[in-house]
Amino acid sequence: MGLPNKTYIVDDAGKRVGVLLDMDEYRRILGELEELESMRAFDAAKASKDEAVPFDQAIREIEQKRR
């Protein structure tokens, strides 16, 4: 994977203030950010000494609280 195609947006002083990416590169970056967020959430869940609850039980408990 090479460097992304990008175009910088500059202010009147020539300072870079933004960047334009093609849509494919933007989507790829979003996908990687979502994956990183999932990994961090997993790591945090493993590190918390909370008791694991089966998914079906968690759904039932959530629905009971809504009533």
Q: In 1-67, where does DSSP find H-type helix?
A: 23-47, 55-66
**In the chain, what percentage of residues exceed pLDDT 90?**
57
pLDDT-based confidence at residue 49 (cuts at 50, 70, 90) = confident
Mean pLDDT of 30-52: 90
Q: What is the residue whose two structure tokens read 């999932």?
A: 38
- State the pLDDT at residue 50: 81
The answer, yes or no, to whether residue 5 has pLDDT greater than 90, is: no
CA–CA separation, 53 and 64 (whole Å): 15
Ramachandran angles phi, psi of 18, nearest 5°: -170, 175
pLDDT in tens, 7-39: 999 999 999 999 999 999 999 999 999 999 999
* Amino acid of residue 25: E
Structure tokens belonging to residue 11: 């202010």
* Amino acid of residue 34: E
